[in-house]
Amino acid sequence: MLGDKSEDRAKEIIRIHLHELENALSSELLSVIMVGSLSNNSYTGNAGSDIDLIHIYKDGVFDDIRNRVKDIIKKSESLTKHDLPIAKCIYRLNEMKRPFRCDFELCLENKDLIELPIEILRIKDSGITIWGEDVIDFIDTPTRYDIIQSKKLSATWSRQEKERFPELYKEGIKYVENPPIRIIAQSIIVNAMLDYYFITGKSCSSKKEVGMRMKQDVESYIFQEILDLSIVYRYTPEKITSNQEQWMHEQYKDWRQKRRGKEIGDIQHLLSD
**Count of the separate structural domains present in the chain:** 2
Q: Is the pLDDT of residue 170 over 80?
A: no
98 and 195 co-located in one domain? no
Same domain, 173 and 69: no
**Domain region containing 219:** 165-270
Is residue 92 pLDDT above 90, yes or no?
Answer: yes
The pLDDT value recorded for residue 185 is 95
Ramachandran region, residue 82 (left: φ > 0; alpha: ψ -120 to 50; beta: rest): left
Q: Which residues contact 188 (CB under 8 A, 6 or more apart)?
A: 223, 226, 227, 230, 252, 255
Domain boundary among 126, 141, 156: 141
Q: Is there a domain that residue 152 lies in?
A: no
Both 205 and 169 in one domain: the answer is: yes
Domain C-terminal end among 78, 108, 141:
141
pLDDT at 44: 86
Confidence of residue 253 (pLDDT cuts 50, 70, 90): very high
263 exposure class (CB count in 10 Å sphere: 0-12, 13-18, 19+): exposed
Give the list of residues 6+ apart from residue 100 with CB closer than 8 angstroms, or none: 116, 117, 142, 146, 149, 150
- Are residue 27 and residue 110 in the same domain, yes or no? yes
Q: Assess whether 106 and 177 both reside in one domain.
A: no
Whether the pLDDT of residue 155 is over 60: the answer is: yes
- pLDDT, tens digit (0-9, with 9 covering 90-100), for 36-80: 999 988 888 887 789 999 999 999 998 899 999 999 999 999 999
Helix ranges restricted to H, the chain: 7-25, 65-79, 111-114, 116-126, 144-164, 166-177, 181-200, 210-217, 224-235, 242-259
State phi, psi for 263 to the nearest 5 degrees. Answer: -70, 145
pLDDT band at 184 (very low <50, low <70, confident <90, very high): very high
Q: Please tell me whether residues 137 and 201 are part of one structural domain.
A: no
**pLDDT higher than threshold 80 for residue 16:** yes
Q: Look up the CATH number of the domain holding residue 69.
A: 3.30.460
DSSP per residue, 177-221: HS--HHHHHHHHHHHHHHHHHHHHS-----TTTHHHHHHHH-TTB
Query: What is the four-CA torsion angle of 77, 8, 25, 62, rounded to 10 degrees?
Result: 70
Tell whether the model's pLDDT for residue 2 goes beyond 80. no
